[in-house]
Amino acid sequence: MTQQPRILVRGAGEMATGIALRLKAAGFRLLALQERARPTAVRRGVSFSEAVHEGVWRVQGLTARHLPGPQGCSACWRNDEIPVLTCPETESLAVLRPDIFIEATLRKRPAPLGRELAALVLALGPGFTAGCDAHLVMETHPDLCGRILSSGQALAPQRPADGQADRRHLYAPGDGLFRTAARLGDRYERGQPVGFLHTATDTLALPAPMTGMLRGLLRDKTPVRRGVKLADMDDRPHITPYTPSTRAATLGQAVARLVRQWQQGELHDPDRSPA
């Protein structure tokens, strides 16, 4: 394919935003980011999903704008803005007709995916099988980040037995409604309540897992399920809530490189060849 491929990304969280930033920097034609009506991103400062709540959101100098449907995309493209769509995904696919579809939500329970969605379907992280759900799968595990699989599944993340992986993260201890008055960038001491979880029978205080700054925080009044990440803390002085992660940048670079290879005909999938 010699012309610019049309790209649609499912997701507008931190990793999807990192991919969008890199695709735009590389000059690719990013059609839109497809997001849920109630996004649950924790690192909201570096997630274009915030546009769903705020109307517009800027990350690293790029602006994303929430649209209820794909009909307004042309105006966004003229203004060099990234549309964030919350209409049914089937509508976006029918109207935008992407050449490349990228699943970048990294959800524990991802939505169904199929190779028929586009000429190239790429899925990030575990939960998908390359050659079945998608043409290709990309590893998101820190040790293998950006590696491409043409068969099999990506490696699922594992928390170390010593619990250090949870030192920076706060998870919901049960199902309920998350309430917080905290803001991104606020500093908390270890054990200080960051918020509360209102369950069907109780109200649970949610203590900060470490002393540091809130790099990520779920929005107030968000319904959550047990095990959902609520907050992300960092004690490094050079980090802010608006600092993209190294992993998001690495994935963005890997996706842009893959798209370039596909565009130049260096990738050949078993279903369709680039025209």
Distance of CA 132 to the CA centre of its chain: 22
CA distance 166 to 210: 10
Percent of the chain clearing pLDDT 90 (strictly above)? 84
Same domain, 254 and 122: yes
- HSE, side-chain direction, 13 A CA sphere, residue 166: 15
Same domain, 78 and 210: no
Lowest mean pLDDT, pick from 90-104, 140-154, 212-226: 140-154
Q: In the chain, how many domains are there?
A: 2
Quick one: CA torsion of 129, 132, 257, 32, rounded to 10 degrees?
Answer: -100
For residue 246, pLDDT beyond 60: yes
Same domain, 120 and 226: no
What CATH number corresponds to the domain at position 11?
A: 3.40.50
For residue 272, pLDDT beyond 80: no
Same domain, 108 and 202: no
What CATH number corresponds to the domain at position 192?
A: 2.40.50.100
User: Is there a domain that residue 217 lies in?
Assistant: yes
Same domain, 30 and 150: yes
Same domain, 52 and 111: yes
User: Is there a domain that residue 210 lies in?
Assistant: yes
User: Is there a domain that residue 275 lies in?
Assistant: no
CA distance 129 to 132: 5
Condensed to tens digits (0 to 9), the pLDDT of residues 114-123 reads: 999 999 999 9
Lowest mean pLDDT, pick from 26-35, 36-45, 219-228, 260-269: 260-269
Q: What is the pLDDT of residue 159?
A: 53
Query: Looking at residues 141-148, what average pLDDT do you find?
Result: 90
For residue 102, pLDDT beyond 80: yes
Q: What is the pLDDT of residue 78?
A: 97
Residue with structure tokens 């925080």?
Answer: 217
Same domain, 60 and 128: yes
Residue 173 domain boundaries: 164-234
Tokens of residue 25, six digits:
């920097």
Q: What is the pLDDT of residue 255?
A: 98
Q: What is the pLDDT of residue 2?
A: 60
Query: Looking at residues 130-158, what average pLDDT do you find?
Result: 89
| Residue from 127, 135, 140, 137 nearest 14 by CA | 140
Same domain, 46 and 144: yes
Q: Which helix (H) or strand (E) holds 263?
A: helix 246-263
